[in-house]
Structure 1
Amino acid sequence: MSRNRCDGLLAKVDFPLYTLQTLTNRHVLVAGGGGASNTGVANGFEIFELSHNGTRFVAEEVMRYETGPNVVMTCFVQNVQNKIYLAAGQESHCQLYKVNVKMVDAAEMRRGSFRAENGLVRRRRTISENDNISKMESHNHTTDKRMSFEIRPCDSVQTDFGNDPLQRVVTISHDGKLMATGGFDGKVRVWSFPKMQLLFELQGHTKELDDLDFSPCDSRLVSIAKDGQALVWDTKAKAAPLLSLTCQPPNGTKYLFRRCKFGDVEDRKGEYRMFTIANPLARSGKQKGLVQLWEPVSGQLRKTVVVAESLSALAVRDDGRFVGVGTMFSGSVDIYIAFSLQRVLHVGGAHGMFVTGLQWVGASALTARSEAALLSISVDNRLVVHTLPYPGTVPVWVAILLIIFVLFCTFCLCSYLGI
């Protein structure tokens, strides 16, 4: 049984959103745009700070950075030696940005405001925890300073060399030493990071790449493409894939992988799982999607869950406990328990169009009322949060009433028995 729906609009921007990343434990970055056409729709990034007011999550805009005519279709944020880097796919190139953290006067931050879902304008707060990527997150508690960011472009390298080159996906290893890219030419390219020097190419796919992900220990890299294959590679050197997986649907219909993500195994260091979502090759009608759990060393399929429609987005929480999935047609969002793929939350129609990105909220931003919180974006320009309440939570006032009722019944029983 899924738990009750609990979600809310956090922000709405003025351009379609294609990618969503966590910048710090309390800051998220969304990116997208309208492309190079003269439509008046901007291209770029927007950063929001998340907080909880005791009732619900609130997002406050921190800054905006426009990228001119270059729409941002994919990006990845990584902290390398206490420095934040942002790798963004822009046409055939990967553009590297350095994100500088700075503390500014609260008065400087009051130029903008956040329009909440109820239409009320909420001014920026004048007090904030000084949170950044490392020790600054809990170091400074001032009444006149706020955290802000400065995005500066650095190097740019061409990562796709097809007839119509386009970088479709970029990801960075957990230790921040490797970057992997994929695009229309079907080749997986592994680069040093943050220098972005090409180390080697991995050739195994025959069609354009759709997704890439490093394993938690960075020893493996999984890639999926429109040729229907999921290939697991050794990240140490150029070699043939260690595994070649194809989707195994329960009904015999041909399916293609759409997204792939590794996930940690809870309380068992050195072990991990792999998750994929897949859609049927035939696109006529409302086809059913698949969420699958794999054993990435042997390639054994552990579990498959059939979803009522095609899927578009996938996210696995860092601790490996939950999996988030976004749908293609209804813009819905689901949360599953990772090891069993049991659905515990369904938010139907969370977006007006297909979900383009999902990201888990850091544990430090959660309250005791929520077991998990998942962010989602779409080309409907909206950033939405979905919170998973703890199962079987009883309000304090209900518990008090139950105690009073039990005591009253006990008193009546004792009086009846003459005790």
Structure 2
Amino acid sequence: MSWRRRKDGLLAKVNFPPYTLQMLTSRHVLVGGGGGSSRTGVANGFEIFELSHDGTQFNAEEVTRYETGPNVVMNSATHNDGKRMWLVAGQESHCQLYNIQAKVVVTENGEIPKKSSFSNKEELRQRRKNEMKEETNTKKESIEDINEESKAKHKKLQLIIKPSDSVQTDFGDVQPVQRVVRISPNGNVMATGGTDGYVRLWQFPQITKMHDLKGHDTEIDDIDFSSTGKEVATVAKDGKLIIWEVTSGLKSKELTWSSSKDEKSIFKRCRFRNKLVQNTNTLQVFTLSNSLPARDKRHKGKTHYGFLQQWDIKLESVEKLVTYKENLSELAISDDGKFVAVGTMSSGTVDMFIAFSLQRVLHVPGAHNMFITNLEFLSTKLDGPAITSNSEAAVISCSIDNKICIHSIPYRYVLPFWLFLIFIVLCICGAFMLCSYMGI
């Protein structure tokens, strides 16, 4: 079977710098960002795109646009339980809760045909048979035209964003800012982190506080829940990776890492991957680390390194490591736990790895003109059917170059075991016949 060549790259372009990506359904992606509170003329808010695949490439169609006034959207998280969709967004020191409602509407170019009006009784007259035949034929043609036109029309899912509660989540002394927000997979807990160094856990969607977790000395960079929702991982600019127990709010593990004795590194991103895929109960955590800028003038101009790490939390050790000759900015893991995606800081490169072995399967240099601000895999477990395509996995990237891009890998094919056995048997038989023919 011959595959068509994949055409990846630019998926959509927005008129504001995008900072966050979230999958709402298996076919809808939400993009958030903006130009800030200053009067730059750049709007702040969200755009929702519906994704599709035409057999050759992915396409995106805008279905919803929502502006947030002077509040730029720097981070967000979504939860879809099949009945309701929630969106939380970091806007300065507050976290804004939105309710997203789905509504089926007819597309703009597909209006419902109106019924023809009946004539008055006074206008009715006796018509000859040939006139009635002509009118009957005309009606048949009109009905056929309407049926063909109706087939071309189709209904669309419209997503309506409605604001709900808002709560202050960061209380920094200088400039309080919520830097990250996450919702647990079961949708019961929300975690926020900001410039004051606290990680706060909230009951969701009521947004009532559960715990104030103080373990970091500086602002929080990233948070992630395990697939069970019992653990939450946090990283900050103090170089610590901390695993917390959600129910008790107690610290379970505190890990640090450096590339060498002479050079320090700090964590940038963290993501859980549950190894139940490999039938074990060990939790894996993937992290991004970057080497610190040189403070000594003698070492200025030295290459800054970035690292992708695969941790075994139980052993408190790095199992596998990938080194980059530049700093890294973003990390994502597919919902089936098979793939890991990384975005770089200076070159705008996107890479995809097999999560089990950290073997690189996709390399897209210069995917964006500037650093990657977020990555998100196409979902296979959210509401609705997944997008049918010739790709085993696809990741969406965004950058402050205002571009939304998609990068995919084709399905990998493995010969069935029975076919492999038949091939071996044929080879043996062929070798035996050749030896018999040659009299060996």
Structure 1 equivalent of residue 158 of structure 2: 148
User: How do 1:233-312 residues align onto structure 2 when only pairs under 5 Å count?
Assistant: 233-239=244-250, 241-249=251-259, 252-265=262-275, 266-268=277-279, 270-282=281-293, 285=301, 286-312=303-329
Give distance in 1, aligned partners of 2:331 and 2:375.
6
- CA deviations 1:247-271 (Å, max 9, x no partner) are 2325752100000000132252754
* TM-score for the superposition, normalised by structure 2: 0.78
Evaluate the alpha carbon distance shift between residue 318 and residue 250 of structure 1 in structure 2; reply closer, same or farther with a 3 A threshold: farther
Checking the alignment, whether the CA contact within 8 Å between 2:93 and 2:178 is kept in structure 1 is: yes
Evaluate the alpha carbon distance shift between residue 366 and residue 81 of structure 1 in structure 2; reply closer, same or farther with a 3 A threshold: closer
Checking the alignment, whether the CA contact within 8 Å between 1:5 and 1:345 is kept in structure 2 is: no
Could you list the runs of 5+ residues in structure 1 that have no partner in the other structure? 111-140, 395-416
Deviation at 1:189, TM superposition (A): 0.4
Does residue 381 in structure 1 map to residue 402 in structure 2? yes
Deviation at 1:108, TM superposition (A): 7.5
The secondary structure found in structure 2 opposite 1:107 is coil
Checking the alignment, whether the CA contact within 8 Å between 1:6 and 1:388 is kept in structure 2 is: no
Deviation at 1:49, TM superposition (A): 0.5
Structure 2 equivalent of residue 313 of structure 1: 330
User: How do 1:16-95 residues align onto structure 2 when only pairs under 5 Å count?
Assistant: 16-80=17-81, 82-95=83-96
Give distance in 1, aligned partners of 2:6 and 2:260.
29
Evaluate the alpha carbon distance shift between residue 76 and residue 376 of structure 1 in structure 2; reply closer, same or farther with a 3 A threshold: same
Structure 2 equivalent of residue 405 of structure 1: none
Structure 1 equivalent of residue 234 of structure 2: 223
Does residue 390 in structure 1 map to residue 411 in structure 2? yes
Deviation at 1:191, TM superposition (A): 0.3
Matched letter for residue 211 of structure 1: D
Deviation at 1:144, TM superposition (A): 3.3
Q: Which runs of 4+ in 1 moved over 6 A?
A: none
Give distance in 2, aligned partners of 1:208 and 1:189.
13
Identity among equivalent positions (%) equals: 50
Checking the alignment, whether the CA contact within 8 Å between 2:285 and 2:310 is kept in structure 1 is: yes
Does residue 176 in structure 1 map to residue 187 in structure 2? yes
The secondary structure found in structure 2 opposite 1:287 is coil
Give distance in 1, aligned partners of 2:330 and 2:17.
16
Deviation at 1:308, TM superposition (A): 2.3
* TM-score for the superposition, normalised by structure 1: 0.82
Structure 2 equivalent of residue 137 of structure 1: none
Matched letter for residue 366 of structure 2: G
The structure that is helix-richer by fraction is: 2
- CA deviations 1:109-152 (Å, max 9, x no partner) are 99xxxxxxxxxxxxxxxxxxxxxxxxxxxxxx994321011100
* Structure with larger Rg: 2
Does residue 188 in structure 1 map to residue 199 in structure 2? yes
Could you list the runs of 5+ residues in structure 2 that have no partner in the other structure? 112-150, 295-299, 416-436
Checking the alignment, whether the CA contact within 8 Å between 2:25 and 2:80 is kept in structure 1 is: no
Give distance in 2, aligned partners of 1:91 and 1:108.
40
Checking the alignment, whether the CA contact within 8 Å between 2:353 and 2:360 is kept in structure 1 is: yes
Does residue 349 in structure 1 map to residue 359 in structure 2? no
Evaluate the alpha carbon distance shift between residue 393 and residue 268 of structure 1 in structure 2; reply closer, same or farther with a 3 A threshold: closer
Give distance in 1, aligned partners of 2:110 and 2:19.
26
The structure that is strand-richer by fraction is: 1
Evaluate the alpha carbon distance shift between residue 81 and residue 27 of structure 1 in structure 2; reply closer, same or farther with a 3 A threshold: closer
